[in-house]
């Protein structure tokens, strides 16, 4: 990697039910290697996650002028939504595991979020954590236990918001003419690699690099490195 890239800040958002701790675990090292300051906003509670993050991007853009934006899963959706609406303030896109494009429909991540929200509403966060732990690799189970506990009573509303909100359409992504790095995991059934590849193909300057959940389980930064490598390729480096 190179430290010759000059951006005022990279603002990277977490997925629904996740948090800034995981974003930093994924992107902290790779962004430090680029020499780009990393800003990782914490999620607001309840069903106003999207508006909270979009307002924070507005605030940071007023401070810095332009931003490199992105995120993981739902955070990637929101960052791209903001970038499409603010083309003059976005200098690049860095996203990992986008879960769908356009309307969520029956996308696996949307279905999983809705089912989890139903379980949280009916039986509480702890029951949902135990259910998720039973079907997840240990590292994902540990992340969910930590992050879902932080969301507490607001978890269900946040999950429902994410499950219902459209991601940018492929047509909208085609309008975003900035360097864009997209990372997917070939073995992730919730965030299909095909969705991430479709994002990269639609983005005029998009590039795609694939890793695996198994690799991320061993080293969280594997996902961040994949996204940054795709971004560097988009820059022609």
Tens of pLDDT along 42-60? 988 777 889 999 999 999 9
Tokens of 185: 């995991």
State the Cα–Cα distance between residues 86 and 82, nearest whole angstrom.
Answer: 6
State the Cα–Cα distance between residues 49 and 44, nearest whole angstrom.
Answer: 5
State the Cα–Cα distance between residues 175 and 117, nearest whole angstrom.
Answer: 33
Task: Give residue 237's pLDDT.
Answer: 64
Burial tier of 40 (Cβ tally within 10 Å: 0-12, 13-18, 19+): buried
Task: Give residue 5's pLDDT.
Answer: 64
Greater confidence (173 vs 3) lies with 173
Task: Give residue 37's pLDDT.
Answer: 93
What angle is formed at CA 180 by the lines to CA 96 and CA 63, rounded to 5 degrees? 90
- Reported as half-sphere exposure (CB side, CA atoms, 13 A), residue 78 has a value of 28
Q: DSSP string covering 201-236, please?
A: HHSTTEEEEEE-HHHHHH-THHHHHHHHHHHHHHHT
Q: What is the pLDDT of residues 179-228, one digit of tens each?
A: 999 999 999 999 999 999 999 999 999 999 999 999 999 999 999 999 99
Range with the poorest average pLDDT among 19-28, 42-51, 75-84, 117-126: 42-51
CB 23, CB 216: distance < 8 Å: no
pLDDT value at 104 more than 60: yes
Task: Give residue 1's pLDDT.
Answer: 45
Most confident of 5-9, 28-32, 45-49, 135-139: 28-32
State the Cα–Cα distance between residues 24 and 219, nearest whole angstrom.
Answer: 13
pLDDT value at 99 more than 50: yes
Beta carbons within 8 Å of 235's beta carbon, 6+ residues apart: 5, 179
9: how many CB neighbours lie within 10 A of its CB? 19
Tokens of 160: 């429902």
**Exposure letters 78-89 (e unless 16+ CB within 10 A, then b):** bbbbbbbebeeb
Q: What is the pLDDT of residues 128-183, one digit of tens each?
A: 999 988 888 999 999 999 999 888 889 999 999 999 999 999 999 999 999 999 99
Rg of the chain in Å (alpha carbons) = 16
Tell me the pTM: 0.95
Binning the chain into helix, strand and coil, the percentages to the nearest 5 are 55, 15, 30
């Amino acid at each position: 990697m190179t430290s010759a890239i000059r951006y005022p800040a990279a603002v990277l958002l977490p997925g629904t039910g996740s948090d800034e701790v995981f974003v930093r675990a994924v992107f902290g090292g790779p962004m430090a290697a680029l020499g780009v300051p990393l800003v990782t906003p914490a999620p607001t509670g309840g069903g106003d996650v999207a508006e909270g993050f979009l307002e924070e991007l507005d605030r940071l853009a007023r401070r810095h002028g332009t931003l490199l934006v992105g995120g993981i899963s739902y955070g990637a959706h929101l960052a791209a939504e903001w970038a499409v609406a603010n083309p003059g303030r976005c200098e690049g896109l860095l996203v990992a595991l986008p879960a769908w494009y356009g309307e969520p429909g029956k996308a696996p991540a949307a279905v999983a979020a809705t089912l989890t929200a139903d379980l949280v509403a009916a039986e509480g966060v702890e029951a949902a954590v135990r259910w998720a732990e039973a079907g997840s690799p240990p590292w994902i189970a540990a992340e969910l236990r930590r992050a879902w506990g932080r969301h507490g009573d607001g978890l269900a509303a946040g999950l429902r918001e994410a499950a219902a909100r459209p991601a940018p359409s492929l047509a909208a992504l085609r309008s975003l003419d900035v360097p864009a790095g997209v990372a997917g995991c070939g073995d992730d059934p919730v965030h299909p690699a095909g969705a991430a590849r479709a994002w990269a193909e639609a983005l005029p300057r998009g590039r795609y690099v694939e890793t695996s959940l198994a690799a991320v389980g061993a080293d969280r930064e594997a996902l961040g490195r994949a996204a940054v490598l795709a971004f560097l390729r988009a820059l022609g480096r």
